[in-house]
A and B are shown apart, each in its own frame.
Chain A
Amino acid sequence: MKVLIPGAAGALARQVATRLAAQGHQVIGLDARPWSDVPKGVDFHQVDVRKRAAEEVFRRKKPQVVVHMATVNALSADTSDERYRINLGGTRAVFEHCAAYGVEHVIFVGRHSFYGAGPDTPLYHTEDEPPQALAAFPELADLVSADLFAANALWRYPKMTTSVLRMVYTLGQSGQGTLARFMRGKRVPKILGFDPLFHFLHEEDAVSAIVAAVEKRPKGVFNVAGPQPLPLTTIAKLAHRQVVPLPEMLVAGLLGRAGLPNLPVGAIEHIKYPIVVDSRRFREATGFQHRLDEITTVRAYAEAFPGRA
């Protein structure tokens, strides 16, 4: 199959492109960021998905499948304006090009943080639930909008198959991703008196899930998760990190300093309360099964990233 991946230079997207190419698919990558050691079988174009040159790639290459991985979160984009343009402007451009140039199947790779975290939110969210607690974390609004915009392609473009994936955090060799970056240092902050469950899967399994979606073409919105979640303190213990419990008031002031990760203040809710998703629907639709359990996944990450002082 001919698969086009907007955002192909991202840490997880590179692995998806590489795996798809290795399995004999014809892979085309798009990204504004560079990718120097592109593997054989991947045709990479360094263009911004919102620019005309990107549309030209859609027009000329005529991909059958598009895996949209060009969204960013509050950690990687510099300003909220920039984030908004990439997430919403980029997603809109991808879907419009898909519809215009006869793409059969488009996969939006989104995030499970869509559901939001709070004291009143249930464990194991199902796809039917609306986003909650957005007011506490406005930095998430553009990702939530991009997710909802992608999902309404299901009725706007009925001839095209749309899959919206809400993936849990990933941990793996790249060290990239929200949770992986949060855990990169030797010290991991924790809000005093709270210890939320974190839902994550190994990068290798995340790649398998996306490949399963390419092959099975499930139509609809799907949570994607692997093994069961673990409390933050257990993850830190398994990764030989030192947990630093801090009063909530203090954390807001210390983020980005004293060796603590740089997070927006709204993200504090996400280190107080869990976001755990039910991925039964995706497993049934694609037959996806994770290979690595939660403990092996953390240990593999800790081996690759022993934690810098």
Chain B
Amino acid sequence: MSDIQDRLDRLELPFDSEGLDPFGISKKHLKVAFTAFSALYQRYFKVHNHGLSNVPARGRAMLVGNHSGGIAIDGGLVIASMFFELDPPRLVQSMVEKFLHRLPMASVWAARCGQFTGLPEHAVRLLEDERLLLVFPEGARGTAKLFKERYSLVDFGTGFMRQALQTKTPIIPFGCVGGGDAMPTVANLYKLGQLVGAPYIPVTSYLLPVPKPARFDICYGKPLLFEGTGAEDDDVVIGYVDQVKASIAALIEQGRRERGELAAGEAA
């Protein structure tokens, strides 16, 4: 517990005397969230991080990776990794789905913990403020992957690349493996999701949309810096996005090797 307080105190964010930063990020809320998360991160799941040194200690950067299945547990684990493993710790701010901020409670907790709606305005402003951003270019289509699709990548959005170009931000690609085991989805209920204001409700082989304890392997790659202004033609931007996608695919493969799912020389 004192470790969490110590890490909170070492976060390099401009908190005022009430423990609030200019975006409304609250130390008090972070403490509760990370305390709850530390049990999940350290006991419930077994998270193996590889290549953490690729994440810069300070300054703007964009973590870009895949969803490995079910719900966005991978996002939570990346946030926890950067807080519990980096020195000094860093607060990851992810660009979350719009529906989260329509829900009571979820809206407050997401906002006070710095997890804002994925708007280009937010991304650019946070990067210009030298923050560490987390983007899943697959979006909700990524978490909707079924168990059998867990190692695949669906279409990437291109918005993140334009914002990275515009703000001259290095992209740190990562591949996450394990979400498929934690939450083996066999189907997604889209109609039911609409009723509660979520994109869909996942159905697992054991019915409940709750993740099981599982091992996660997250591999971080070397930073990629693309030269440009963000006003390039779509073909150019899509070319850059494909490079990021290819590095993520390679990092997923590396993750599978770390787990012994693939032999050293074997391709996926």
- Interface set of A (CB-CB < 8 Å, partner B): 119-120, 122-124, 126, 191-195, 197, 228-231, 234, 238, 248, 272-274, 278, 293-295
User: Are B104 and A231 in contact (CB-based, < 8 A)?
Assistant: no
Selected from A229, A248, A278, A295, the residue in CB contact (under 8 A) with B24 is A229
| Residues from chain A with Cβ under 8 Å of B21 in the complex | 228
Q: A124-B121, A228-B21 are in contact. List 4 more A-B contacts (CB 8 A).
A: A119-B117, A123-B116, A228-B22, A230-B24
| Residues from chain B with Cβ under 8 Å of A126 in the complex | 121
In the bound complex, how far is the Cα of B22 from the Cα of A194, in angstroms? 18
User: Are B107 and A119 in contact (CB-based, < 8 A)?
Assistant: yes
B125 at the interface (CB under 8 A from A): yes
In the bound complex, how far is the Cα of B15 from the Cα of A293, in angstroms? 13
| Residues from chain A with Cβ under 8 Å of B20 in the complex | 228, 230-231, 234
Interface residues in B85-116 by Cβ distance below 8 A to A read 98, 101-108, 111-112, 116
Interface residues in B106-134 by Cβ distance below 8 A to A read 106-108, 111-112, 116-117, 119, 121-122, 125
User: Are A122 and B16 in contact (CB-based, < 8 A)?
Assistant: no
Selected from A197, A273, A295, the residue in CB contact (under 8 A) with B16 is A295
User: Are A231 and B98 in contact (CB-based, < 8 A)?
Assistant: no
Q: Which residue of B lies closest to A278 (CB)?
A: B125
- Interface set of B (CB-CB < 8 Å, partner A): 16-18, 20-24, 26, 98, 101-108, 111-112, 116-117, 119, 121-122, 125
26 contacts between A and B (CB under 8 A): A120-B119, A122-B119, A122-B122, A122-B125, A123-B24, A123-B116, A123-B122, A123-B125, A193-B103, A193-B104, A193-B107, A194-B104, A194-B108, A197-B24, A228-B16, A228-B21, A229-B22, A229-B24, A230-B20, A231-B20, A231-B24, A231-B112, A248-B104, A273-B101, A274-B111, A293-B16
In the bound complex, how far is the Cα of B19 from the Cα of A238, in angstroms? 13
Main secondary structure, interface of B, reads mixed
User: Are A194 and B107 in contact (CB-based, < 8 A)?
Assistant: yes
Q: Which residue of A lies closest to B101 (CB)?
A: A119
| Residues from chain B with Cβ under 8 Å of A231 in the complex | 20, 24, 26, 112
User: Are B125 and A192 in contact (CB-based, < 8 A)?
Assistant: no
| Residues from chain A with Cβ under 8 Å of B116 in the complex | 123
Q: Which residue of B lies closest to A125 (CB)?
A: B121
In the bound complex, how far is the Cα of B117 from the Cα of A104, in angstroms? 43
In the bound complex, how far is the Cα of B18 from the Cα of A231, in angstroms? 11
Q: Which residue of B lies closest to A191 (CB)?
A: B104
